[in-house]
């Protein structure tokens, strides 16, 4: 079977440490302890616009904990986070939302027993005042039209926007969650193992959408254990090992074997140690 080409990687990706480069988030020496357990330690990492960053590591390496720190679920116990230059406390998931940080989890991305269109507008519903100050009515038609327009632009086909999300396939749900992030002009979209349970065409769609987000200048963090996906979709890779950042790699300069070596050993490849 042939693998469809993904949209090109963007030219905006700059070398690590490039002066004046645009980052969206800058983590400096970030740590997270749960009682006696150190889940993260000394994480210093830039998350840049226009780039898909692969966040890799063995089970328990700290990937989800890092995502939860960035998305306001957990507070770091040490270190500092800057958002577009300003030291920022991402104190709650709502605060993360306000900063334009959208996290798409495999199962928790949408509300299953609500229609597609309603899912697009959770927390941001379009309403008009039936009795000013007292009764608000949802603008169902407008919300449907808006959701349909976004999905059409992204070439995502959903049979009806009135069906509940639990009637859709995993890939359709994932595509809707990503489309919603695009609709609300996210600055950073975090995809935590988005293709784990999807068919091959659905996986391709999600990879394509991740690249499309990056080409629109969005920062994307992509968590996966699938090395083929890593090679196809990421620009840069950060490998965590037992809560520490083992190494950052440029996808174009590395190989699956080298990445797996870093994930297993927690050490940068020898070519980098020699440099």
Ligand X SMILES: Nc1ncnc2c1ncn2[C@@H]1O[C@H](COP(=O)(O)OP(=O)(O)OP(=O)(O)O)[C@@H](O)[C@H]1O
Contacting residues toward ligand X, per CB under 6 A: 34, 37, 39, 57, 59-65
59 binds, among Mg ion, ligand X, none (CB under 5 to 8 A by kind): ligand X
Q: Which is closer to ligand X, CB of 68 or CB of 180? A: 68
Q: Is 172 in the site for Mg ion (CB under 5 A)?
A: no
11 versus 37: smaller Cβ distance to ligand X:
37
The CB-of-170 to Mg ion minimum distance in angstroms stands at 18
What residue 57 binds from Mg ion, ligand X, none (CB within 5 to 8 A, per partner kind)?
A: ligand X
Cβ of residue 64: shortest distance to ligand X, in angstroms? 3
How distant, in Å, are the alpha carbons of 13, 182, 230 from that of 70?
21, 19, 21
Binding mask 62-81 for Mg ion (x = CB under 5 A): -xx-----------------
Report in angstroms how near the CB of residue 270 gets to ligand X at its nearest.
25
User: Minimum CB separation from Mg ion for residue 272, in Å?
Assistant: 26
What is the nearest approach in angstroms of ligand X to the Cβ of residue 4? Answer: 28
Nearest to 99 by CA among 187, 219, 26: 187
Q: Whose Cβ is closer to ligand X: residue 154's or residue 190's?
A: 190
Taking the least distance from each CB to Mg ion, the nearer of 148 and 196 is: 196
Tell me the window of 39-47, 55-63, 133-141, 237-245 that interacts with Mg ion (CB under 5 A): 55-63
């Amino acid at each position: 079977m042939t693998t469809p080409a993904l949209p090109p990687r963007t030219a905006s990706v700059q070398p690590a440490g490039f002066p004046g480069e645009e980052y969206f988030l800058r983590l400096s020496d970030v740590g997270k302890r749960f009682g006696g357990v150190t889940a993260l330690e000394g994480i210093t990492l830039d998350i840049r616009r226009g780039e898909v960053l692969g966040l890799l590591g063995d089970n328990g390496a700290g990937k989800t904990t890092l995502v939860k720190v960035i998305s306001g679920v957990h507070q770091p116990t040490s270190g500092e986070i800057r958002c577009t230059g300003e030291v920022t406390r991402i104190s709650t998931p709502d605060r993360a939302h306000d900063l334009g940080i959208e996290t798409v989890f495999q199962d928790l991305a949408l509300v299953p027993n609500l229609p597609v269109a309603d899912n697009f507008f959770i927390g941001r519903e379009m309403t008009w005042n039936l009795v000013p100050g007292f009764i608000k009515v949802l603008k169902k038609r407008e919300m449907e039209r808006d959701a349909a327009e976004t999905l059409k632009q992204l070439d995502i086909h959903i049979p009806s926007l009135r069906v509940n999300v639990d009637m859709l396939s995993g890939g359709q749900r994932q595509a809707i969650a990503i489309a919603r992030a695009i609709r609300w002009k996210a600055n950073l979209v975090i995809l935590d193992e988005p293709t784990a349970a999807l068919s091959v065409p659905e996986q391709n769609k999600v990879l394509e959408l991740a690249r499309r987000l990056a080409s629109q200048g969005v920062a994307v963090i992509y968590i996966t254990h699938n090395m083929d996906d890593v090679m196809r979709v990421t620009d840069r890779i950060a490998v965590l090992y037992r809560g520490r950042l083992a190494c950052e790699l440029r996808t174009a300069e590395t190989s699956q074997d080298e990445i797996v070596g870093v994930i297993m050993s927690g050490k940068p490849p020898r070519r980098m140690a020699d440099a």
